Amino acid sequence: MPQFSPDVCIIESTYGVQIHQPRMVRERRFTDTVAQTVSHGGRVLIPAFALGRAQELLLILDEYWESHPELQHIPIYYASPLAKRCMAVYQTYINAMNDRIKSQYEVSNPFDFKHISPLKSLDLLEDVGPSVVMASPGGLQNKKNACIIPGYAMEGTLTKTIMNEPKEVTLMNGLVVPLNMRVHYISFSAHADFSQTSTFLNELRPPNIILVHGEANEMGRLKAKLQTQFSDQNVKVLSPKNCQTVEMFFKGEKVAKAVGKLAENTPKEGDPVSGMLVKKGFTYQLMTADDLHVYTQLSRGNVMQRQSVPYKGAFTVLRHRLQQMYEGVEPVLKAEFPSLKVHDKVTVIHEGTDYVLLQWISDPVGDMIADSMIAMILKLDAQSMRTRLESDEMKIVHSLLVSLFGDVILEEKQQILTLTVDGVTATVDHANKGIECKDESLKERIKLALRRIQTALYPLDS
């Protein structure tokens, strides 16, 4: 805690008004769930993407396996090349760890796991019995199996959907599949819960609180709760949207002398004045950034950022998506390559056939816009690659069904496949994922075949 109360506190709101269980309770629930599942012959999937949390959970599992010899024949895998590379970083900077890890390192390297193996490819997974996998591979369609969600799940994601344990879920490819595994939510997130946030703010007592880093609904609930908590203390709670300007007013007057270009025109009462406030001793001067070197020994500098982002789609598609996300998207006239200026901050240049170039002067707003654009372009490029794959998908599905059932007729434009097995006809509507067949046994065989084909084509969709 600082020695004085600040004027403004900017604080995250990821978990809103949710309350975490005590740490020891969560660890016990986690290890008990894993042990019970594998002891009954099931498999455990742990989708852990956050670096740090992945290593944390692997440490817990490795220690638990070490103290339970009866489980040591059951393999534990982590299928993340990034997490594996990060292990080297953790091992390099052991001196930056807490005392527990340092003392453990003196005996043995805590990140050289004894009971856990990295999984370079899903093809190397020996899926013949109970196991623990930290990754996001295909669905676990068996009631003996379990998925443990160890962190925050965003609205609209498959993770958030399965937390409610519906009977069926829809995958990214539109395929509807039954959910036949148990789902446990045991949060090991580093983000604060409401108890921690409210206690911190109650001790800090800032007159202005700005909520950031949160999903809109959770942020709204937290704002309402904090307003109730500080209702008698005249505390202002704000939850601005991205790029939204926040204005705050503070008591106390300071007099600053405008110099240089700012002094050329006298502003009217109430007009905003934008410049840099420079304090020297007990005097304040207000000036433009261009005048900084004239009135002080300081100088101004800019950092030009340039980043190439993979993109093989059409530039018109990219422009349309940018216009959906940002208000100010304008073409750059007389440019050597097709170019757009976004929010008057970031320039996108279609310089190559398989990439675009982002260029901007680094500042907080420009950096944020560039970050969101890079994420959007990468997602758009992935969707473009998927579309190209799906254009060949019908032929692949047709040839695989021929190898399984023999007589299969493909109507490519309508995306209809007609199968005849032992005089029984079945129709597969590939576009709508529907099957028409009077013979229920054959229908189930086709449904199973299509599900396996889909898993082979898109192994990470679920």
What's the CATH number where 60 sits?
3.40.50.10890
**Burial profile 401-416: b = 16 or more Cβ within 10 angstroms, e = fewer:** beeebeebebeeeeeb
Which neighbouring-strand residues pair with 450? none
Question: Residue 288 domain-assigned?
Answer: yes
**Residue 28 in tokens:** 């016990």
Do 126 and 212 belong to one domain? no
- With contact defined as beta carbons under 8 Å apart, do 39 and 73 qualify? no
Do 442 and 424 belong to one domain? yes
Tally Cβ neighbours within 10 Å of residue 41. Answer: 12
pLDDT of residue 206: 92
Do 30 and 175 belong to one domain? yes
Do 83 and 211 belong to one domain? no
DSSP string for residues in 215-238:
-HHHHHHHHHHHHHHTTTTT-EEE
Do 106 and 74 belong to one domain? yes
Do 107 and 163 belong to one domain? yes
What total number of domains does the chain contain?
Answer: 5
Q: How would you write the pLDDT of the chain (462 residues) with one tens digit per residue?
A: 888 888 999 999 988 898 888 888 989 999 999 999 999 888 888 886 666 777 788 889 999 999 999 999 999 888 766 667 777 787 788 888 888 888 877 777 777 778 888 776 666 666 678 888 887 434 445 667 778 887 777 777 777 788 877 888 877 667 788 887 788 888 777 788 899 999 999 999 899 999 999 888 889 999 999 999 998 888 999 998 888 888 888 777 788 899 999 989 888 888 888 888 998 888 899 999 889 989 888 888 889 999 999 888 888 888 888 888 787 889 998 888 999 999 889 999 998 888 999 999 998 889 989 998 888 888 777 666 655 555 567 777 888 888 888 888 888 777 888 988 888 888 888 777 788 888 888 888 888 888 777 776 655 444
Question: Residue 66 domain-assigned?
Answer: yes
Do 36 and 175 belong to one domain? yes
Which neighbouring-strand residues pair with 77? 117, 133
Question: Residue 250 domain-assigned?
Answer: no
Q: Which residues touch 74 (CB under 8 Å, ≥6 apart)?
A: 38, 129, 130, 131, 132
Question: Residue 174 domain-assigned?
Answer: yes
Do 81 and 171 belong to one domain? yes
pLDDT of residue 138: 40
Answer yes or no: 73 catalytic.
no
Which of 142, 169, 185 is the last residue before a domain boundary?
185
pTM score, two decimals? 0.50
Question: Residue 399 domain-assigned?
Answer: no
Supply the range of the domain harboring residue 417: 406-457
Do 374 and 431 belong to one domain? no
pLDDT of residue 190: 77
Phi, psi (degrees; rounded to nearest 5) at 428: -110, 115
Question: Residue 33 domain-assigned?
Answer: yes
Which of 336, 351, 386 is the last residue before a domain boundary?
386
What CATH number corresponds to the domain at position 342? Answer: 3.90.930
Q: Of 191, 320, 350, 430, which residue is the catalytic one?
A: 191
Question: Residue 444 domain-assigned?
Answer: yes
Question: Residue 308 domain-assigned?
Answer: yes
Do 52 and 153 belong to one domain? yes
pLDDT of residue 122: 63
Which of 294, 323, 342 is the last residue before a domain boundary?
294
Do 207 and 77 belong to one domain? no
Do 334 and 428 belong to one domain? no
